[in-house]
Amino acid sequence: MKEMKIAKNDLVSFLDTLITEYEVFAPVKKDSSVVFQEIYSGSEALLDYSNSQKPPKEMFFPQKERLFSYDLSPKKAGIEEPLLAEKQRIIFGIRPCDARSFVLLDRVFSGGVYKDIYYIDKRKKTLVIALGCNRPKSTCFCTSLGGGPFSQEGSDLLLIDIGQEYVVQVITDKGEELIKKHKEFMEADEQSLFSMRKVVDTAEASIKFRVDVWKVKEKLDGMFDDPFWDLVSEKCLGCSACTYLCPTCHCFDVVDEVIGQRGERIRIWDSCAFPNFTLQTSGFNPRPTIKERVRQRIMHKFKYFVDNYGVAACVGCGRCIRECPVNLDIRAVLNSILER
Partner 1 sequence: MNGDDLMPDISTMIRDTARKLLEEKKVDLVIGFEKGTLPLRSTPCFIRNSKEAEKLVWNASCENNLARYLRKRQEKIGIVAKGCDVRSIVELIKEKQLTREQVFIIGIPCNGMVDRKKIDLKLNGREILEAEEKDATLILKGYNFTETLDKEEFLHDSCRTCKYRNPVIYDVLIGNKVAENEGTDEYEEIRQFEAKSADERWQFFTEEFSQCIRCYACRNACPLCYCQECFVDNSQPQWIGKTTNLSDTLIFHVVRALHAAGRCVDCGACDRACPMGIDIRKLTRKVQMDVKQLFHYEAGISVDDIPPLATFNLDDPQEFIK
Residues lying near partner 1 in the complex (CB under 8 A) are found at: 31-34, 49-50, 53-54, 63-64, 135, 137-139, 231, 234-235, 237-241, 244-245, 253, 255, 257, 266, 268-269, 271, 274, 276, 321-323, 325-329, 331-332
Nearest residue (CB) to partner 1, 9 versus 202? 202
Nearest residue (CB) to partner 1, 139 versus 155? 139
- How far, in Å, CA of 113 to CA of 284, rounded? 30
Q: Which of 161, 147, 124, 170 is nearest to 47 (CA)?
A: 161
- How far, in Å, CA of 313 to CA of 55, rounded? 14
**3-class SS at 262?**
strand
For the bound state, the minimum distance from the C-beta of residue 335 to partner 1, rounded and expressed in Å, comes to 10
- Vertex 280 angle, CA 275 and 285, to 5°: 50
For the bound state, the minimum distance from the C-beta of residue 71 to partner 1, rounded and expressed in Å, comes to 18
Helix pair 213-221, 330-339: axis angle to 10 deg: 60
For the bound state, the minimum distance from the C-beta of residue 262 to partner 1, rounded and expressed in Å, comes to 14
Asked if residues 96 and 148 have their Cβ atoms less than 8 Å apart, the reply is yes
Strand partners, 306: none
Q: Which of 37, 42, 39, 38 is nearest to 16 (CA)?
A: 42
Nearest residue (CB) to partner 1, 53 versus 308? 53
Cα–Cα separations (whole angstroms), residue 106 to 23, 109, 114, 211, 313: 22, 5, 12, 25, 12
Nearest residue (CB) to partner 1, 169 versus 271? 271
- How far, in Å, CA of 56 to CA of 209, rounded? 24
- H helices of the chain, where? 8-21, 96-109, 117-124, 173-180, 190-206, 213-221, 228-233, 241-245, 290-299, 305-309, 319-323, 330-339
Nearest residue (CB) to partner 1, 277 versus 309? 277
Nearest residue (CB) to partner 1, 156 versus 270? 270
Helix pair 117-124, 96-109: axis angle to 10 deg: 140
For the bound state, the minimum distance from the C-beta of residue 252 to partner 1, rounded and expressed in Å, comes to 11
Asked if residues 11 and 166 have their Cβ atoms less than 8 Å apart, the reply is yes
For the bound state, the minimum distance from the C-beta of residue 279 to partner 1, rounded and expressed in Å, comes to 9
Burial category of 266 from C-beta neighbours within 10 Å (exposed 0-12, middle 13-18, buried 19 and up) = middle
Strand partners, 253: 268
For the bound state, the minimum distance from the C-beta of residue 18 to partner 1, rounded and expressed in Å, comes to 25
Nearest residue (CB) to partner 1, 54 versus 174? 54
For the bound state, the minimum distance from the C-beta of residue 176 to partner 1, rounded and expressed in Å, comes to 33
Nearest residue (CB) to partner 1, 7 versus 231? 231
Nearest residue (CB) to partner 1, 77 versus 237? 237
For the bound state, the minimum distance from the C-beta of residue 227 to partner 1, rounded and expressed in Å, comes to 12
For the bound state, the minimum distance from the C-beta of residue 21 to partner 1, rounded and expressed in Å, comes to 29
Cα–Cα separations (whole angstroms), residue 1 to 157, 168, 172, 175, 310: 10, 10, 8, 10, 26
